[in-house]
Structure 1
């Protein structure tokens, strides 16, 4: 079978996602702002604004190059990577939100393209990876909100859908050996191989479009909206301690 997304329904349970009451629309808009904060703030090193997207405690993110990290550790390794020359940008391609007002839970679904610039042996090129960022969000009072509920992000995990190499000069790209590409799932093979060339340890088993992690992430989406905890489904390490 060719690499492709399943033709079957992936989210049988339907939540508030379009239209609805003014309150539902406003809540969904607030969550979509959290999602758009990732490309706008992180790409510009607006670290304080970026941190404000997330819950004060226990917020956690997963990416190919960083593995799974608390948001504070992720910010720190992002700063270090940027100082070394890591050049990662994001293009938001559209965002929608599923909302369960009765549980004060929402899931933001942001279509985005990760684009990273590389220089291997003097050949400069980009790798672009089409993804869906999944933001697990909840509405609750925060220490700075004077008891007023605010939307914050608890977890972020991505579907890595497909990637490609883009030559800067229109025709020159490095050769990626098949054995190197096969170390990573189809969906982020070129991104993983190129990031590994920079010295990053690439996290395997992230959701693509035809692996078990794909269905696990959809299960987590549904259970989160029902008000359940999903850290185990997302494979968050128990008793996490900073790696820095």
Structure 2
């Protein structure tokens, strides 16, 4: 099982999360590319640290919405979105290559991630951007999403993702952040839940039902309070259950 986290989400003198500590725990880093968060210097620092620690680098592409942290839907034209995503991948890849690595996968962020789960035009735009940049790049997303379906149809490698610290609806989508209980905080509960997901056992949804999540990567949000401790508990629980923890990119 891969363990990924969102990183590089500061901007200028404003910081968010402990990237260095998370890079000691996770196997893949979703690095903000300057649109929802991040800036060139942060991108350079995080990619360099990721390469040094052997952590896979992913382009965490999002809407051009720093004020909303990329968590607000943007009604952007598909051709513009295509070019913005392409721009973000290329920018991050430049810093990754300077550090001796490269972008290994693409994962949309926030509102873009949720929107392309069902919005066909925007999903097609993101798929097109990835395919035009590098068809060998895997794409990471929610099982059952339009984005992954279209990516697979375009010949891209798709990777299903689960979330350590987010509640699920009965349909397998994420509970909106504006609702109570959408973000989980108990590290022990989260670790137990992740072990269940990684071993094919059912977890509870937000309504009290149960379902099985099939995923090759588990995400811990870097901006969740206590993210580093949560990631440590999750990794320890997975390894304790005999689940190898390694990048899905190989």
Fold equivalence (TM over 0.5): no
The structure that is helix-richer by fraction is 2
TM-score, normalised with respect to structure 2: 0.31
The structure that is strand-richer by fraction is 1
TM-score, normalised with respect to structure 1: 0.31
Larger radius of gyration: 1
